[in-house]
Chain A
């Protein structure tokens, strides 16, 4: 075969092009495909954004009609967190009994250092946190019998943790409030912190004017108008 081709070449004596092997140049096709792949890779949403669930307390719209009353909680277990400016958290335990002489605010931040809110709450939530941790460890170690398929397993684990949280009666009750200069990031961060520490009872409530004033005094701002 090769010889014949060689002969032809000699006879024609012109160009190699007559070699006549049917080969299509694939390079442009590859180029095009590369482009398309790049396009699809960039537009595909691989990692879906995640969600964090939060349930806010219902508003008592018509107290007399519905005979509703705000739930009563133990003062000794209550911690008030106020989200302040510059990613700081101001907190005080219990409640303000005397508006003229409010308890001093203490400052914490979002880090996991000793100054952070996490250490503070972990200390108070130790009993529950250890319980949840032990449960999770036993799941990982395979001591617990858990459902095989991943969906019912997840539901099972979530339910178990929820059970432990509802039966908890020692951990803190955290009331989250926000001063007006806080931002949305702080709000998400603190809720995230709650789920990390495994706080059983926390909620987001409106800040009242006493607390606003307490923050302002701590910041050194002269209170603008105490009445709301």
Chain B
């Protein structure tokens, strides 16, 4: 019976719709991607029920690692032309007698992750070739009363960008004396309003809390 003879199908599947779909997805992700800056130390932020998102700019963040190291980060401001980071580093250089070349300032401006380098090592840090070298230099920003560089960073950040807000992102297991010290340093510089960065708690649990 020649009629039932099935046509000789090739095993090819038409990939075109799949490609179309993937292209769309890809375009979507490329356009919406905002890169997550990598934290130099693993930090597990505690949970809270707050739903306010972090501001996009005018933000200085102090990162408290579990081991007590302190990192700092500041953004470039709402407009990339403002180059706040650039100016802040230059001011810091003046204060601590470290001369930064325009090349180094540009490198600092481009960085997005927090840094925990004493200012004396900053030059080395900016010129480090790979992340391994960089990590070795991240010993935390000194907060001793003798050498309180965090206070200087806060001071100059606020001088350069008067709208800056203070954020604290800490690991849940950070010892309290470290936190206290940082809060005190902020207090000395007349910063009393903080944003504590937290993760959102699971909805189920918050619901249970409000039910009571």
Residues of A within 8 A of B64 (CB): 184
Interface residues of B in 161-178 (CB under 8 A from A): 167, 169-178
How many residues from A make CB contacts under 8 Å with B?
48
Size range of the chain B interface in the assembly: 35 or more
Contact A183 B175 (CB under 8 A): yes
Q: A187-B176, A189-B46 are in contact. Are A49 and B198 (CB under 8 A)?
A: yes
- Once A43-B36, A184-B173, A187-B176 are accepted as A-B contacts, the answer to whether A192 and B193 lie under 8 Å apart by CB is no
A73 contacts the other chain (CB 8 A): no
Q: Which of B33, B171, B195, B209 contacts A51 (CB 8 A)?
A: B195
Is B89 close to A, CB under 8 A? no
Q: List 14 A-B contacts (CB under 8 A).
A: A30-B18, A30-B22, A36-B26, A49-B45, A50-B48, A58-B187, A59-B187, A112-B212, A181-B175, A183-B172, A184-B178, A187-B176, A188-B48, A189-B48
Q: Does B15 contact A (CB under 8 A)?
A: yes
B145 CB–A CB distance under 8 Å: no
Is A195 in contact with B50, judged by CB distance below 8 angstroms? yes
Q: Is the CB of B22 within 8 A of A51?
A: no
Contacts of B49 in A (CB 8 A): 192, 195-196
A contact face: mostly helix, strand, loop, or mixed: mixed
Residues of A within 8 A of B (CB): 23, 25-27, 29-30, 33-34, 36-37, 40-41, 43-45, 47-59, 83, 112, 118, 122, 178-189, 191-192, 195-196
Q: Which of B51-59, B75-83, B91-99, B124-132 contacts A (4 or more CB under 8 A)?
A: B51-59
Q: Could you say which of A57, A180, A182, A186 contacts B192, with CB atoms under 8 Å apart?
A: A57
A88 to B169, CA, bound (A): 22
A-B contacts besides A44-B32, A56-B183, 19 pairs, CB < 8 Å:
A23-B12, A36-B26, A44-B34, A49-B53, A49-B169, A49-B197, A50-B51, A50-B198, A51-B195, A52-B50, A53-B194, A54-B196, A118-B209, A178-B180, A183-B174, A188-B196, A192-B50, A195-B49, A196-B210
Do B172 and A49 touch (CB < 8 A)?
no
Bound: A26/B18 CA distance, A: 9
Query: CA–CA, A11 to B49, complex, Å?
Result: 77
Cβ A48 vs Cβ B54 within 8 A: yes
In the assembled complex, which residues on chain A have CB atoms less than 8 Å from the CB atom of B46? 184-185, 188-189
Interface on B for A, CB 8 Å cutoff?
A: 12, 15-16, 18-19, 22-23, 25-26, 29-30, 32-36, 45-55, 64, 167, 169-180, 183, 187-188, 190, 192-200, 206, 208-210, 212
**CB pair A40 B167 closer than 8 Å:** no
A184 adjacent to B172 (CB under 8 Å): yes
**How far does the alpha carbon of A202 sit from the alpha carbon of B196 in the complex, in Å?**
16
Q: Which residues of B contact A41 (CB under 8 A)?
A: 29
Measured between alpha carbons, how far is A88 from B60 in the docked complex, in Å?
31
Contact A44 B200, beta carbon cutoff 8 Å: no
How far in angstroms is the closest Cβ of chain A from B159?
Answer: 20
Chain B residue with the shortest CB-CB distance to A204: B183
On whether A56 and B35 interact (CB within 8 A), knowing A37-B22, A184-B176, the answer reads no
CB of B74, distance to nearest CB on chain A (Å): 16
Q: Are A47 and B176 in contact (CB under 8 A)?
A: no
Q: How far is the CA of A181 from the CA of B177 in the complex (A)?
A: 8
Inter-chain contact B23/A40, CB cutoff 8 Å? no
Taking CB atoms, residues of chain B closer than 8 Å to A29 are 15, 19
B196–A51 touching, CB < 8 Å: yes
Known: A33-B19, A34-B22. A56 touches B48 (CB 8 A): no
Most buried by B among A25, A52, A122: A52
CB nearest to B48 among chain A residues = A192
Complex contact A50–B53 (CB within 8 A)? yes
B192:A56 contact, CB within 8 angstroms: yes
A155 CB to nearest chain B CB (Å): 12
Q: Which of A178, A180, A182, A188 contacts B198 (CB 8 A)?
A: A188
The distance in angstroms between the C-alpha atoms of A46 and B187, with both chains bound, is 33
User: Which residues from B are CB-within-8-Å of A51?
Assistant: 50, 52-55, 167, 195-198
